Every structure is written in C-alpha cells, then in structure tokens.
C-alpha cells in the first residue's frame, strides 16, 4: 500500500510502498482510511520536537487524525464489523491500567499512539484496536470528520471542562479560531449558555468565529487584552481557553482571566511565566489539556451527527501530501486539511 513516511527529521516526507497491516491479535481492527487530518503536530514531528518523547524508530508512517471503514477484525471484536464507518480514538489503549479503569484512557500507562509512536494514517490502511474505534452516524463521511479524532477531540475535552464551570451570564474567551478553535467555538455554543468571545489575529478567522456561534469577535492587533476586559466589565472572563499557546498568547490569556477563573492551555510552543504571588492573590487556575478520552469522542460524534459541530476542511489527495503540509505551515488552510487516499 501507499504510505507517507518520516525518513529523517528536518527532511521531507517520502511516499513509499509498504506492506499493508494484517490482523495478528484477537482485538485488532484494520481500517481502510477515508480521511487523515493534517495537524500542526505533524510539522513539529518533522522538526524533531517529538523524537525523544515518542521514541519512535524511523522510518514510520505519520498521521494521527483518522477515519474510514472497517476492513478486517480480529476474532474477539464484537463492537464493529467489516464495512462499518468509524473514527479512531488517537490512542491504542490497554483497558487494564488505573487510568483506563477510570475512563481516563488518554493517560493509559501502556498506550501506543499511531502517527506519533507507531504507524499512522497517512496511508491506505491502518491497524488499531477494538477499544479505539467509534462507529459514526450514517449521515457522516470519514473525510468530513477525520480531524475530529484529534483536533476535535482536543477542543471538546478542553471546552467540556470549561463548560462545566460556566453559568448563564458568564463569559468564556477562546484564543484562536483556527483548526482547533473553530471546533471549540461550536462545542461551547452547544454545551454552555455563556457569552462567547473569540480572539484571533486573522480577521477572516474572526468572521468565521462569529458565523458559527461566537457572540463577539476580537482581532488581535495589539489591543486585544483591553478589548476583552472592556467586554467583560473590566473583570476578565470566568473561563479562558488558549488554542494558540505561543506568540505571547499565554501572558495575554492570563490577563484576560477573571479572579478565581480558569485559564486552559491547549496550544503549545512557549513557556507560561507568571509570578506565584499573582496566582495566589487572584486564585487563578492554570489547567492543562491533552487530547481527550474515548467517551469524549463518542460525545463529540453525537454532536456532529446532530450537526451541532461541523468541521471546515480543505481536502487533498494522499499523493499531494506536501501541498497540504506547505499550506498548513503558511497559514493558508481555513479549518483543517484532510488527506484522502
């Protein structure tokens, strides 16, 4: 089968012909890929940022946002059958460790991460497990929802945590209306009665944010903190979710957070530097977010089936993977880029 491989860090990806995966265990599921999301993490992988953390052996197939059709199953698989449309939870998990027993499977102690630590979905087929596949509604197509497997799941996980802390009359600020942010806006609108303020440096992204559920759009042109404070009566927002995490957004996000509020960090790339006395005196919480659980993905797909969450996509053929990466890196993709074998 065709597969797009990392052959070296700081080197271009390479299309290779490799053996298709086969069922070798009772809980294995082979998926024919219908769509694979192109994520900024893929760019970070090529830069070598994940080399030490993932411990993956090169070459390997990239791609961690995947959906498609069940192609083959192991002897013990009962939750899906050949031909089912599915989206894949990013992790292959054990089901036996403490985290898995609590339903917090994103922190599984014995996980594999296709596209990060094992072969992923920039290919025609991918091998995963019965614990990782979620059947999707007949009205949904794999190429339309693939990026919800990670970008959508990450956004849902963070927004759902924030939404549980919000009441009618509260405000929530979302920093970034790109690939993750535009999903987070829709999820927040579906889950919470709070007033939604979105901040982005791109005026077109701000327009998109308002069209999909934001009550206020703020263009980040240098005065964004002051504008948010004005919109929130000078107090800041009860919940701030930062989908950017670089370029100064962390310091700005904390300044936008109300006393006793929560600043959720999702994007990454810079350090959070804050005097401890400021955290103590304001009682602000800084909350990290990592992908989401299997149950989070099930809930997100329920919203997608009800058309409460729509993924804005730009589709590319698998052969055109380099154009997708180049467009993402240059900021030319609105929403998410999807590779379609």
Task: Please report the pLDDT score of residue 40 as a whole number.
Answer: 87
Pull the structure tokens for residue 217.
């759009």
Neighbours of 75 (CB within 10 A): 10
* 206: preceding bond cis by omega (within 30 degrees): no
The DSSP output letter for 56 is: P
Task: Please report the pLDDT score of residue 179 as a whole number.
Answer: 83
Domains defined for the chain, CATH in brackets? 2-150+292-340 (3.90.180.10), 153-288 (3.40.50.720)
Alpha-carbon span 194 to 280, nearest angstrom: 26
- Comparing C-alpha atoms, which of 53, 132, 52, 67 is closest to residue 292? 132
10-residue stretch averages of pLDDT, the chain, 341 residues long:
97 97 98 96 91 90 98 98 98 96 94 96 98 97 96 96 97 94 96 98 94 97 97 98 96 98 94 95 96 96 96 94 95 89 96
Characterize the bridge pairing of strands 28-38 and 66-73. Answer: antiparallel
Between helix 181-191 and helix 294-305 the angle, nearest 10°, is: 80
Residue 270 sits at φ, ψ, to 5 deg, of -140, 170
Facing residues of 33 across strands?
68
The DSSP output letter for 289 is: -
Q: Are 137 and 305 a contacting pair, CB within 8 Å?
A: yes
Neighbours of 265 (CB within 10 A): 22
Task: Map tokens 């005196």 to a residue.
Answer: 281
Task: Map tokens 């849902």 to a residue.
Answer: 156
Number of H helices, E strands in the chain: 12, 16
């Amino acid at each position: 089968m065709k597969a797009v491989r990392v052959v070296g860090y700081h080197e271009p990806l390479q299309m290779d012909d490799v053996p298709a995966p086969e069922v070798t265990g009772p809980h294995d599921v082979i998926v024919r890929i219908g769509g694979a999301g192109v994520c900024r993490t893929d760019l970070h992988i090529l830069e070598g940022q994940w080399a030490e953390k993932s411990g993956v052996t090169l070459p390997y197939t990239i791609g961690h946002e995947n959906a498609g059709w069940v192609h083959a199953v192991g002897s013990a698989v009962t939750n899906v059958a050949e031909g089912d449309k599915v989206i894949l939870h990013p992790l292959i998990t054990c089901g036996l460790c403490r985290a898995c027993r609590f339903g917090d499977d994103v922190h599984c102690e014995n996980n594999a991460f296709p596209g990060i630590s094992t072969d992923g979905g920039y290919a025609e087929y991918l091998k995963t497990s019965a614990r990782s596949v979620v059947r999707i509604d007949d009205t949904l197509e794999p190429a339309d929802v693939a990026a919800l497997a990670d970008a959508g799941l990450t956004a849902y996980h963070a927004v759902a945590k924030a939404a549980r802390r919000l009441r009618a009359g509260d405000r929530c600020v979302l920093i970034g209306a790109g690939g993750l942010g535009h999903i987070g806006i829709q999820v927040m609108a579906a889950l919470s009665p709070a007033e939604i303020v979105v901040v982005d440096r791109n005026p077109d992204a701000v327009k998109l944010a308002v069209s999909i559920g934001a009550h206020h759009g703020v263009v980040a042109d240098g005065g964004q903190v002051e504008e948010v404070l004005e919109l929130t009566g000078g107090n800041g927002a009860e919940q701030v979710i930062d989908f950017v995490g670089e370029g100064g957004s962390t310091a700005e996000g904390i300044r936008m957070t109300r006393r006793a509020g929560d600043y959720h960090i999702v994007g990454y790339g810079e350090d959070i530097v804050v005097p401890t006395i400021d955290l103590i005196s304001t009682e602000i919480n800084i909350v990290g977010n990592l992908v989401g659980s299997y149950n989070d993905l099930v809930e997100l797909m329920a919203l997608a089936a009800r058309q409460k969450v729509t993924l804005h996509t730009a589709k590319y053929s698998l052969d055109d993977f380099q154009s997708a990466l180049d467009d993402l890196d240059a900021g030319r993709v609105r929403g998410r880029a999807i590779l379609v074998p």
